[in-house]
A and B are shown apart, each in its own frame.
Chain A
Amino acid sequence: MEAGTGRDVAPPRAPAWLLGAAPLALLALAVALLVTVGAPGLGDRNGAPVEELAVERTQMEPGEIALTVRNEGPDPVSVEQVSVNDAYYPFSGGGEIGRLGSATLTIPYPWIEGEAYEVFLLTSSGATVEAAIDAAAESPAVDPGFLGLMALLGIYVGVIPVAIGMLWLPLLRRSGPHLVRGLLAFTVGLLAFLGVDALLEGLEVAGAGPQALGGTALVLLGAVVSYLLLAWADAGMRSRRRRAGARGAPGFQLAMLVAIGIGLHNLGEGILIGSAYTAGALALGSFLVVGFAIHNTTEGLAIVAPLAESRVSVRRLSALGLVAGAPAVLGAWIGASIFNPSLVSVLFGLGIGAIAQVIVQIWPGVRSSSGQPDGTVYGGLILGALVMYATGLLISA
């Protein structure tokens, strides 16, 4: 580095890299001293070791239960014995798990379909960690056939409904600006509902998962990061448009942002569907798929709402549909194969931040010519939230 050495007029100054590195070097020295000399008065901790294990994943095969556990405490944990419904069973995969490390414990056990099981992990100190299996069901093997089924599921609940919803575009084109504003408000209401719903869901998943990697903070971190990334991307696109001298409403750009937000949301949804299916907690009846389809069709409407006054090619429309719907397929794969509460928490956060950014982007188009929201806007907002709530009932019924 030559910084600071090129100017011979200026008095001699320390190079910038040195100014940056000096505190780091001091920190390294301090850490080294603490480690070698031992921190006086700080090295010993009072009390017994803190053993915290979280069960991340339960896999069931005929005659076998496999638990993936993560050590989220400050001390190593050693699982020595395992009991299933108050009976000890020999298992494999035990031994010491370091901080933040994970292990898969495989217990041969003749479990019965549909029954409840309580697994206790007994550590070397005698502490117990409980894992409950509420309704035993075989975990599907993650093979090409299963991934194909998950892809089909993702297409059913993500791609197709979104594409159908986008078919309202011709109707939108014929509508007057008043109705378009109402529809945009409807979209905002709908997105707000999804955002709040995803926030609650993400916090629930994060709260139940390991806390060592951040827990609920991961959801908020994901939200902030995705909000800022999308804002950054949007600013970049705007300046490029300005330089190119483009005029008119950035309809496609806005639609793409909506599609990205909904896509991230559908990613989280796909993960939950995939993992619930793997855990045997989800019966894929046609009713459920139909429910998802109706629910997600409104998302398609949200994507095309900003396009009412723009000309967009079919290819671009297809791209929008895929950006919004295809992540459901990816999510189903992730959820079916590597469900991890911390990862899912971050992904939920990304979806929430994206939705918040999309709402901020859409909002200027919602306002009337007088700059103030009117009855159309308020009505659209309320209706959007209510429709999302009502179609959501189809799936939980």
Chain B
Amino acid sequence: MNRRRLLAGGALAGMALPVLHELVPHEGLHGGGGSAEASEQHPASAGEGHASHADHAAFAGSGTVDHSFNGFDPAELLRSFDWGRTRRLPGGRVLREWDVVAQDKEIEVAPGVHYAAWTYNGRVPGPTLRCREGERLRIRFVNASSHPHTMHFHGVHSAFMDGMPGIGESRGGGQIEPGESFDYEFDAEPFGMHLYHCHVAPLAAHIAKGLYGAFIIDPKDGRADADEMVMVMNAFDTNFDFGNEVYAVNTVGFAYQDQPIRIRRNELVRIYLANLVEYDPVNSFHLHGNFFHHYPTGTSLEPTEFTDIVVQGQAQRCILEMRFPKPGRYMFHGHKTEFAELGWTGFFEVS
């Protein structure tokens, strides 16, 4: 290395050679005071009406996306449960039916940042399908996308209802080509917090692009009355490098930071939580200022743990129950803090 190379390296952003770390003392020319001074400075607040941006990561601009462009709003999606239509079968059993359409749709996942998503019913995550244990379920699936898709449910069902390419094509199932449709039909079992997603190859792409949703089977006798919400932890690889750029619950990064979830003090809160983040092996949910009861997969009525954090691999899910005894603003976020600062952060506003 000659002097000009040394100088040129330093002169160009992103080009400085490793040796510069040794050449430039860390106290440098500007003294060690710079760091302490710098750390006291924070980004300016984004203004009234939003959670304060002053002390943590946040999006630029208005801080939020155009929900009407997306056709769904995380604030509404949170407490939206799709119970479908029901009728009695001969013998008195309930048949519950839904229509689910796969369609290609561009969505805004961060203010100003658009992503060519694949959706169930035009939203990401897809509709939260909810039913009761023992019911007969029929999901009329129409593939209006330009790509083949399926609905693969986590649950107990026969192989040809599995939404698995190569299995059940002879009965109209398996891979559903564009323009085709199929009725998935099975019994609601076991009760718990489940999910569904597309299972067409390449699988990672079909999931990462948004084809997933929560599937809740209530126990026969139901659960205690509560303020219920569904949180699907997800992320988007907007630059297609097999790593995610934006993390969130229910698609829009920082959505519940910008518009905190309102909770009534002491009321039982029940969260149906699932991890659908592709490309990263684990995700987590951590609650500030409180603990919750953890029901893994929701398949037991007895909690296994009283904690303030759950860690989930992909497709893992659970039910969380908690009460907030004190009013105030409580953060919840992925405690893989990288995800938190890339969008997976929200607040409960207890009053």
Contacts and interface: CB of A to CB of B under 8 A. Distances in A.
A192 interface: no
Contacts of A73: none
Contacts of A198: 4
A135 B59 contact: no
Contacts of B89: none
A62 interface: yes
A198 B29 CA distance: 28
A346 to B, nearest CB: 15
A21 B14 CA distance: 48
Interface in B89-115: 109-115
A296 B219 CA distance: 85
A111 B4 CA distance: 28
Given A131-B14, A395-B6, A110 B60 contact: no
Interface string A251-285: 00000000000000000010111011001111110
A150 interface: no
Given A90-B59, A205-B12, A396-B1, A108 B7 contact: no
Interface in B22-53: 23-30, 32, 34-35, 37-44, 46, 53
Contacts of B6: 276, 395-396
A63 B42 contact: yes
Contacts of B120: none
Contacts of A111: 38
B223 interface: no
A64 B30 CA distance: 15
Given A205-B12, A209-B12, A272 B113 contact: no
Interface stretch (B66-74, B162-170, B270-278, B338-346): B338-346
Interface stretch (A11-19, A122-130, A167-175): A122-130
Interface string A334-350: 01000101001000000
Contact of A135 (B20, B27, B254, B338): B20
A269 B4 contact: yes
Q: Which residue among B14, B111, B341 has the maximum number of chain A CB atoms within 10 Å of its CB?
A: B14
Contacts of A110: 38-42
B236 interface: yes
Q: Which residue among A82, A108, A131 has the maximum number of chain B CB atoms within 10 Å of its CB?
A: A108
B112 A80 contact: yes
Interface string A302-322: 000000000000000000000
Contacts of B26: 113-114
Interface of A: 55-58, 62-64, 67, 78, 80-83, 86-92, 94, 107-114, 120, 122-128, 130-135, 137-138, 140, 197-198, 200-201, 204-205, 208-209, 269, 271-273, 275-276, 279-284, 291-292, 295, 335, 339, 341, 344, 392-393, 395-396
Given A87-B57, A279-B10, 18 more contacts: A62-B37, A80-B112, A81-B110, A86-B338, A89-B43, A90-B58, A90-B60, A107-B43, A108-B43, A125-B114, A128-B238, A134-B18, A201-B4, A272-B8, A276-B11, A279-B11, A283-B29, A395-B6
